[in-house]
Structure 1
Amino acid sequence: MQVNPVLVEVERSGFVESWHRGSAVGLDAAGSLAVRVGTPDAPIFPRSANKPMQAVAMLRSGLVLEGELLALAAGSHSGEGFHVEGAEKILASAGLSADLLQCPAQWPLEPEVGLDVARNGGDRSRLRMNCSGKHAGMLATCVVAGWPTDSYLAPDHPLQQAVQTVVEELSGEKPVAVGVDGCGAPLFAISATGVARAFRALVLAAPGTPERRVADTMREHPEWTSGTRREERRLMDAVPGLLVKCGAEGVDAFAYADGRAGAVKVDDGSMRARTPVTVALLRALGIDADALDDLATIQLHGGDGTVGAIRPAEGLFV
């Protein structure tokens, strides 16, 4: 197995104490390979970076959803109050209740939100789980299409077959493996390059198509695809026209309005390494903004001050 290069270094007091290896790929506006580091053609589980493609499959199957609720169905929310209310609205639109959700009960993805829930006597719940918007959308899709709701997560369910078709079409790849995501939904293994191609297809699709509707609503409502404080929201706010979606185990994927696109996979699954690499990759593709400076590195604190940073490896995309 090929050893991927170091993507991110963790420097403390002038000493590099840790590092994260991985792969990254960038496509130019014409869809040609512009940046390649490591093994971006090796299969990975994109995890929640699959969600925009899952949302496309829902719309193609008849789901009627617009605006922030569509963004929620395509996102990984933080479990904030408006996210919970949004998932409930999606379910109610199809005459369903939260009892039908088959995602696990969890604390909110945003730690501070979880603390607030606990302080107010709350507990883990399926609605607070970051995938509840997607699951609500899947259930609503089943009602519209006349499909069973009790087996909506089975790989051979018509909805999940529709998802696989979308993944194959947009990525240009046949999945080499089918797994189970953290929320219980089927997960299709494709390469980081395939993920970048899929995101590029979303932003370049004709206006009004399911693909473009998902891309547009995610960019219009980034707080619904992640949360009010999350890095994905900050990236999309910093660069208008940018679509970003993260995935567990160190995955990031993005596409710009003109078709430039990229994907990152951190080998050890570290989520802290994603955003610094993504910012460096954006800049390597010529996509930049002053507001990205705050996301280019993650500051490390010690005592009462800043003592280091999590940063892209020197010369990473040179």
Structure 2
Amino acid sequence: MGEFDLIERFFTRPAQAGYTAAVAVGIGDDCAILQPSPGMQLAISSDMLVAGRHFFTDTDPARLGHKALAVNLSDLAACGAEPLGFTLALALETIEARWLQAFSGGMLALAGQHHCPLVGGDTTKGPMTINITVFGQLPQGQALLRSGARPGDDLYVSGTIGEARAGLALLRGEWTLADAALRQHLCQRLEAPTPRLALGQRLRGIASAAMDLSDGLRGDLGHILKASGVGAHIDGVAVLATSPALWQALAAWPAQRQIAFALAGGDDYELLFTAAPAERAAIAAIGAALAVPVQRIGRIVAGHGITVVDGDGQPVPLDLPSFDHFG
């Protein structure tokens, strides 16, 4: 099977199924042509996944296809954008039809859920690498950025924090869990994250700053604080409250270790955002309407740096680094 046969068989859909009005030209030409709606700006993001670095080589290919697109859609969610389409550059050591069928199926199923068609890309022979660029749109001047947090703002996270890192620990054999259902859930949180696109779009005009969580809450929060010129105070107990089942399973751990682990773990792909206290009711209503848990975990303060306290008000040492590709 050659390169163009691979594209035709696994990544091209009949009549360019799933294309929206925004896609003027899709797969088949040298460039895709996208047309944002009037009054909208483009939002563009790229992410690369490398075998052995970002995923295990024996990862279920359907889940891998899902995650490869999900981590890019999560970036669109963080700025409040709606998807228009994406490109895929894929390097493979060999062509395995069964693997490609599952991989493309997982990826394109998620694409269909969010009306984000595959509009182009490239394939080549080499160490397995997945590179996706995603395109979105949002109303002029309404992007959620990292630079808008102000002292007095509340600090929020969506979903659960620490579960993906716990799933990684299970797959690495760092510990075991007797609860098979919880184990499956934690591994799914690692391998098949849920991009919070609807939440990000609803937060436009409400959140003062936002980003998605990929490398760990502590490290990612640092990007918002640096861009906004502020500091943060975090309630560690509120962070743990996002996943009571996980921390009940690890109840033998001291509370400070649980908090530090949750803050340093990566691959959450949840939204971290700030908002004025006056927006609390609106944020609660949005979370309820979307059936997405949203937890207030602290506040933005004047100054610099991050302070974390446990349930007794004692400082939590932050000696676990967030993920760094070159660290």
TM range (shorter): under 0.3
- The structure, 1 or 2, with the larger RCO (C-alpha pairs under 8 Å, 6+ apart) is 1
TM-score after normalising by structure 2: 0.25
TM-score after normalising by structure 1: 0.25
Higher gyration radius (CA):
2
